[in-house]
Amino acid sequence: MVSGGLLAVYGGMSDAWEQFLQRLYLAPWLALASAVLVAGALYGAARPHRRRLMRTHFKSAGLRILGYAGAWILLPALLIGSLLAMSAMLEPVAQTSLLLAYLIVLALWTPFWWTVHFVCFASGPAVRNAFSLSALHPALPPLTTSAAVWVFVLVSQLTGDLPPFPEPIALCAVTGGPVSVTAVACWEIYRLRRHHGMQWRG
């Protein structure tokens, strides 16, 4: 939020909007990659009896991941299919009945917009719950969040440059978020170990 406001002031609204879209698109995939890597590390470190319990959660998490990825893959197919169907059907039908043409447009675009809403509303819970992989280990959500924000910063810097702020503000904007998220994650893990008896190996 803060970096978006600074970007709007120093770089313009177009830069802020571009950053928002980039985060909307990249955040779920970075969270997924981070969750899989962290889950793999925790699974490898777990004791044999704990691994058997963890394996029971992989199937449900895998189905959720496949459903989410399938929705993203389906979006361009639905968009192209709807446009092609409209170009082939709409003009002849509109000459006969405007009501029928309206109903056809509604029927053609309903699956596309339903999928768009599904992706938008599913992205937040998917990132927070790490695609249900959080059930594998209590420490997985904070570790995944920390890994995802640092990977996002790395990807952003590899594909672009520092934000168009004065240099001290730019460095704070780039590193402030990941540092604060990591600090909160460390505090959460500390509380899990101290007050709930969490063990890394289960």
Decide: 68 and 131 in contact? Cβ < 8 Å: yes
Predicted TM-score (pTM) of the model is 0.63
d(C-alpha 55, C-alpha 90), whole Å: 51
**What is the mean pLDDT for each group of 10 consecutive residues in the chain (202 residues)?**
46 55 69 81 82 77 80 88 81 72 82 86 71 74 84 75 67 81 90 82 64
Decide: 127 and 28 in contact? Cβ < 8 Å: yes
pLDDT for res 160: 64
Measuring CA to CA, how many Å separate 141 from each of 49, 93, 196? 22, 53, 16
pLDDT for res 101: 75
Radius of gyration, CA atoms only, the chain:
22
Residue 3: count of CB within 10 angstroms of its CB: 19
